[in-house]
Amino acid sequence: MMGIPVVAATSAPRATEASTMHAAGDAAAALLDDVLDYARRRALLSPVPLDQPQPPEVLRRLAGETIVAEGIGARRALGVFEHVLAPACLSTDHPGYLSFIPSAPTKAALAFDVVVSASAVYGGSWMEGAGAVHAENEVLDWLAGEFGLPPTAGGVFVQGGTIGNLSALVAARDAARRRRRGAGAAMPERWSIVCSSEAHSSIASAAAVMDVDVLAAPADADGRLRGDAVAAVLAAAGESVFAVVATAGTTNLGIVDDIASIAEVAHARGIWLHVDGAYGLAGMLAPSVRHLFAGVERADSVIVDPHKWLFAPFDSCALIYRDPAVAFAAHTQKAEYLDTLTDSTDWNPSDLAVQLTRRARGLPLWFSLAVHGTERYRVAIEDSLGRARRVAAEIRRRPDLELVREPDLSVVGFRRVGWSPDDYRDWSDRLLAEQRAFVVPSSHAGETILRLALISPLTDDDLLWDVLDSLR
């Protein structure tokens, strides 16, 4: 077997006087040591402080002026960050951070994020970043396989689910336009997207950017969108619809739409099916809930955010197309200085989404998957699901608490019987002030509720029981 060659360190290039800040040398080494030492301490700190925001005047006073003509030096700048700025940022990886969707990067993924920066990889084109793009593609291929998409599927890691949804919908509309043009059919006066009334706000945001309409189909009594509701909306919408969006795990309550029946209805009319799985689609890796996602294999495009339930650091969304050629046609930017790239048949990730310059943001996930193997991911996701079921059972046991619905995934929505919105808010503020947990009120059907979003394997039952106890 051939060994992996070890690259010998080249001697550091000398800097001109004007750019000593780029030079290698003792000062640079000391600076890197300090910064990496902080990163190491923060990453290994257990438990990390939860921390909390501060008003601008407090930060101005505590941090002082840091941007000045002569520079304040690495030590002081790092000190300001460590002692003033970082404590004014919530630790989204804290085991008690249970709001929105928490982050829980593996040590491997977050360490490799540093390497990605140090390597100055440009992830936009094959010419510049072939090695990185190859590794990202291996991850995307693995995900596509898990979702049941064909081996010809492919995609790109973009900044987040919002850009992923927008990019997929732009490709969908472009495909619809081409098809109509090809068939000599007239274009509709307005284009529209059909999605659930429970769909994520980023769908409405994408529609606003694209200047298209959103036709909301009613979710059923359990919050799921089904094919028959989509069919009713499509029947009334005429030819204007270019995409149907199914949600694979709503952010608020983790509800997975009936994707199979939606796919049936959309494809019977030749309409693009996009699956927004930014949070929940990672659940498909877990055997216990995989069946909920039946139909994803028929999607024309899907997204899942590794920075949510796939344990990667911010920011990362895997966007995968059934037929990447359609996305290349929609997104490739044309410019004289880019001709050398666009004339080639290379796989250029830039050309698959609304973006050009891109960080190889799939690499932290690639490294962590390579280090740990895919099985550990399944176990970690099952772990979140098991915790959600235990919390739900405990809520059912407590007379002053009530589940909004049984959790399908790892978000548990519930109410405290008899509490007003103010009670919820005061309780939430107190919990954070006491640095116990970060749980902000949410709402469901016009009612204030609480939700616990369970992602981190470090969130133990003691912490969760303490949160429930504090609701007495």
Ligand X SMILES: *Cc1c(COP(=O)(O)O)cnc(C)c1O
For the chain, the straight-line distance linking the first and the last C-alpha, in angstroms and rounded, comes to: 64
Verify binding: residue 442, ligand X, rule CB under 6 A. Answer: no
Least Å distance, CB 303 to ligand X, is: 7
Residue showing the smallest CB distance to ligand X in the complex: 161
Q: Pick from 97, 147, 157, 279: which binds ligand X (CB under 6 A)?
A: 279
180 versus 444: smaller Cβ distance to ligand X? 444
Residue 439 to residue 404: CA distance in whole angstroms = 16
Least Å distance, CB 252 to ligand X, is: 9
Contact 250/222 with Cβ under 8 angstroms? no
Residue 444 to residue 425: CA distance in whole angstroms = 16
The string of DSSP letters for 125-189 reads -HHHHHHHHHHHHHHHHHHHHHTT--TT-EEEEES-HHHHHHHHHHHHHHHHHHHHHHHTPPPPS
Angle among Cα 363, 364, 370 to the nearest 5 degrees reads 85
Q: Which stretch binds ligand X (CB under 6 A): 16-24, 272-280, 282-290, 323-331?
A: 272-280
12 to 5, 20, 24, 28, 124: CA distances (angstroms):
20, 12, 6, 11, 27
Verify binding: residue 278, ligand X, rule CB under 6 A. Answer: yes
The helix/strand/coil state of 416 is: strand
161 versus 295: smaller Cβ distance to ligand X? 161
Q: Which residue has the tokens 């940022």?
A: 89
Altogether, the residues listed in the chain come to a count of 472
276 versus 351: smaller Cβ distance to ligand X? 276
Verify binding: residue 276, ligand X, rule CB under 6 A. Answer: yes
62 versus 216: smaller Cβ distance to ligand X? 216
Contact 449/442 with Cβ under 8 angstroms? yes
Q: Pick from 317, 391, 454, 467: which binds ligand X (CB under 6 A)?
A: 317
Least Å distance, CB 278 to ligand X, is: 3
102 versus 123: smaller Cβ distance to ligand X? 102
**Could you give the string, one character per residue 164-203, with x where binding to ligand X holds by CB under 6 A and - elsewhere?**
------------------------------------x-x-
Residue 264 to residue 269: CA distance in whole angstroms = 9
**Could you give the string, one character per residue 127-166, with x where binding to ligand X holds by CB under 6 A and - elsewhere?**
---------------------------------xxx----
Binding site for ligand X (CB under 6 A): 101, 160-162, 200, 202, 247, 251, 276, 278-279, 305, 317
